[in-house]
Amino acid sequence: MNGCMQNHKRNYVFLLALALPIPCRALTIVTGPYLQNASETSMTVMWITDVPCTSWVEYGTPGTLDQKAIHSRHGLIDADQTIHRIPIEGLSPGKEYEYRVCSREILKFEAYKVTYGETITGETHKFTTLSRDKQSISFLVLNDIHQRDDLITSLIKMSASKPYDLVFLNGDILGHIEDEQQVIRHVLKPCSDLFAARIPFVWVRGNHETRGKFARMLPNYMAAPQGGYYYAFDHGPVHFIVMDGGEDKTDASSEYSGLVDFDRYRARQRVWLEKEIQTEACRKAAFRVVLIHMPPIASERWHGPTDLYNTWRPLFNAGKIDLMLSGHLHRYMVVEPEKGIRDYPMIIGGAPQAGQATVIRVDAAPDKLEITMTTDAGQVVGTYRVQRK
């Protein structure tokens, strides 16, 4: 008798639970917005939501949000996804804009009917487009953070006393990449919270960021010209050349299990670089600055840097590169030019240990580049000046 009563009681509680309304879960922006792929006439805004949505950006000149940007491919507007990438196009060079992100939840996506949930609207932020006509610019470079969020925070906050236009994450900001949360927690969230809602960042891939099962998904979380890791763009007196050195070991190394093809990848970049250094934008720029995680240094031990030394270094000389900014070695240094070997200085950033991490600041004017390298402890450990040739 007691057993029957207990069963009836359990059934009653179960049926009562079914009758109760399901608590509403608020749609949230997990991280972002963060700015990518800046140019004179466009800016890409990215963010991530916790559930699939369709999204857009409302934007305009300061004080107005009277325009709307969406992203569509082959006639289909992006929908039912959590990573949102909206390019704003048709902008004017060197001009300030305001924007906010908007996402509308998709509860059910059927062939002939989409059921929508709530809409979330982010805070209003500002950004400024790039401009080749700008006389002076400044940018920051971080490298080899290896998931130390505290280092990103301290280096960026330490740099906040002076304005800057761009931030370059010059490789190995992460270690081997295993899942989305790692990308969000250690890069996108701290960057968005610190600066990236108003200042774009450029992610220069490091060799550690080619490792791990999720490394092949990394392009989904950034935007770049043609969607790749190597390209060029202009801002102020600087022509930036971003390169991807790949891995430091041979393709046949056991660590890669036969799943990498970096020799051919570097060879394709060499062909691209041969053409790039002949472009009018490169030849006529006041300064040509290369950002690459692994410096092209000959080594008996490491295949990747040696390959870069043998195949890319002569092209950097031929292209009259003015400055190279690198990392990878986990020790900060200023490497002077060597005529005929390397006709440009290399500034190499620091390590992921507290007191040895660095932020490199470059102030570019029409006649010179002023470079300052500072540790997370606030100590200036390198300065350099490049005069216009």
pLDDT digit string, tens, across residues 212-223: 999 999 999 999
Question: Would strands 333-335 and 346-348 be described as parallel, antiparallel, or unpaired?
Answer: antiparallel
Instruction: Decide if 29-128 and 137-387 have a common fold.
Output: no
C-alpha pair distances (Å), 326 with each of 54, 305, 350:
38, 12, 10
- On the question of pLDDT at 134 being above 80, the answer is yes
Lowest mean per-residue pLDDT among 8-22, 81-95, 184-198, 267-281: 8-22
What pLDDT score does 354 carry? 93
Identify the pLDDT of residue 1. 46
Q: How much is the pLDDT for 26?
A: 83
Three-state SS at 316: helix
Please tell us whether the domain made up of 29-128 is placed in CATH 2.60.40.10.
yes
Mean pLDDT across 155-164: 97
Check whether 19 has a pLDDT greater than 60: no
For residue 22, pLDDT over 70 is answered with no
- Tell me, what's the pLDDT at 25? 66
CA dihedral 276, 288, 318, 358 (to 10 degrees): -110
Per-position DSSP letters for 356-367, written without gaps between them: T-EEEEEEE-SS
Give pLDDT, residue 24.
55
Residue 9 has pLDDT above 90, yes or no: no
103-to-86, 136, 233, 255, 374 alpha-carbon distances in Å: 11, 37, 30, 41, 40
Residue 342 pLDDT grade (very low, low, confident, very high; cuts 50, 70, 90): very high
pLDDT tops 90 at residue 168:
yes
Q: What is the mean pLDDT of the chain?
A: 94
User: 169 near 142, Cβ under 8 Å?
Assistant: yes
Percent of the chain residues past pLDDT 70, beyond the cut: 94
DSSP 236: T
Region 175-190 average pLDDT? 98
**Span 275-283, mean pLDDT?**
98
The stretch 29-58 carries a mean pLDDT of 98
* Per-residue confidence (pLDDT) for residue 209, from 0 to 100: 98
How much is the pLDDT for 299?
85
| Chain segment 350-374, per-residue pLDDT in tens | 999 999 999 999 999 999 999 999 9
Selection from 135, 149, 160 nearest residue 186 by Cα: 149
pLDDT score for 13: 44
Q: Which pLDDT score is estimated for 42?
A: 98
What CATH number matches the domain at 137-387, 1.10.3230.20, 3.60.21.10, 2.40.50.500, 2.40.10.10? 3.60.21.10
Place of tokens 């394709």: 268
pLDDT over 50 at 81, yes or no: yes
- Domain extents for the chain? 29-128, 137-387
170-192 average pLDDT score: 98
Question: Model confidence over 224-263: pLDDT tens digits?
Answer: 998 899 999 999 999 999 999 999 999 999 999 999 999 9
